[in-house]
Amino acid sequence: MNRVKRQIAPYLLVLPGGIWLLIFFAVPMFAMLSLSLQEGDIVHGYRFTGHWQTYTEAISAYQEQIIRSLIYGVIATILLIAIAFPMAYWIAFYGGRRKGSYLFLVLLPFFVSFVLRTISWKQILTDEGPVLQPLRDLGLISQAFHILGTPYAVILGLVYNFLPFMVLPIYVALERIDPRVVEAARDLYANPATTFRKVIFPLALPGVFAGVLMTFIPASSDFVNSEVLGSSDTTMIGQVIQTQFLENSDYPTASALSFVLMLVLLIGVFSYARILGTEDVMKVAAR
């Protein structure tokens, strides 16, 4: 009796999560998949017809936005690594007793709504705002110069909004490095630069890997930053999906685009993991 219980226990533990996944992930996925293969309109209703052409039509109509989203996502992710790594490094190795406070500061913007924060960036970057107006008064930039509505503003928004997701995993990886391992590298004739390249960075790679997954996916499918900080020239696929769903009520196209985006991201992430799987990453770095 006891043995049976013990064998069942793990399954009981996984049950809440399993049910949650089924109701809120698997069922909607199937509903969306079915929706993407339906035809009709909001007035007469939709019927399942297996009309897969919606996919090809959606791709050819919005391939520009899909590609742009991926490019923005990649650029934002690269910038995020460049900004977050030194931050995490500094907190982990020079934070001393205030490490917790510094991490809290990184997380502090989270306590303000995502949309609100993005809108405040709009006010900062606007032509008459506190950045551009003084620069223009000083004659450092031309009258025609503006940031809002450009890809720069959108990518800046993405980088700003997802920074904590890159800082935290890198910080955790750096924090776990045994300081004596770093000393051992110094002891074995490695100068500070070589120590970083051969020991610290390879040991932090799992954190970078996690950070990339946690930022690239939401950044590529983001629909707020381009809406608030961009223009019609910076439209991202997330916005298109949102518009199709909520304004045009073109559910099949919106669903199809969602699946396309998901597939593209999955392919991207898996090939990334394959090339730079955490285990292999270390071996590559070791050479």
Query: Measured from the CB of residue 173, what is the shortest distance to another protein in angstroms?
Result: 12
Q: Does residue 216 contact residue 48 with C-beta atoms inside 8 Å?
A: no
The dihedrals phi and psi of 224, each to the nearest 5 degrees, come to -100, -50
Cα distances (Å, whole numbers) of residue 279 to 141, 187, 199: 48, 26, 15
Residue 57 identity: E
Query: Measured from the CB of residue 205, what is the shortest distance to another protein in angstroms?
Result: 8
Would you say 41 or 183 has its CB closer to another protein? Answer: 183
Query: Measured from the CB of residue 192, what is the shortest distance to another protein in angstroms?
Result: 8
Query: Measured from the CB of residue 184, what is the shortest distance to another protein in angstroms?
Result: 4
Would you say 195 or 258 has its CB closer to another protein? Answer: 195
- Token pair recorded at residue 81: 């690594």
Would you say 202 or 268 has its CB closer to another protein? Answer: 202
Would you say 194 or 248 has its CB closer to another protein? Answer: 194
- DSSP 8-state symbol, 98: G
Q: Does residue 81 contact residue 173 with C-beta atoms inside 8 Å?
A: no
User: Among residues 233, 227, 234, which one has the least CA distance to residue 72?
Assistant: 234
Residue identified by tokens 């990339």 is 212
Query: Measured from the CB of residue 97, what is the shortest distance to another protein in angstroms?
Result: 11
Residue 145, judged by CB atoms within 10 A of its CB (0-12, 13-18, 19+), counts as exposed
Query: Measured from the CB of residue 188, what is the shortest distance to another protein in angstroms?
Result: 4
Give the interface with another protein as residue ranges (CB under 8 A): 178, 180-181, 183-191, 194, 198-199, 202-203, 282-283, 285-286
Would you say 274 or 287 has its CB closer to another protein? Answer: 287
Q: Does residue 241 contact residue 46 with C-beta atoms inside 8 Å?
A: no
Beta-sheet pairing, 45-48 with 38-41:
antiparallel
Query: Measured from the CB of residue 167, what is the shortest distance to another protein in angstroms?
Result: 22
Would you say 12 or 286 has its CB closer to another protein? Answer: 286
Would you say 9 or 184 has its CB closer to another protein? Answer: 184
User: Among residues 128, 124, 187, 196, which one has the least CA distance to residue 153?
Assistant: 124
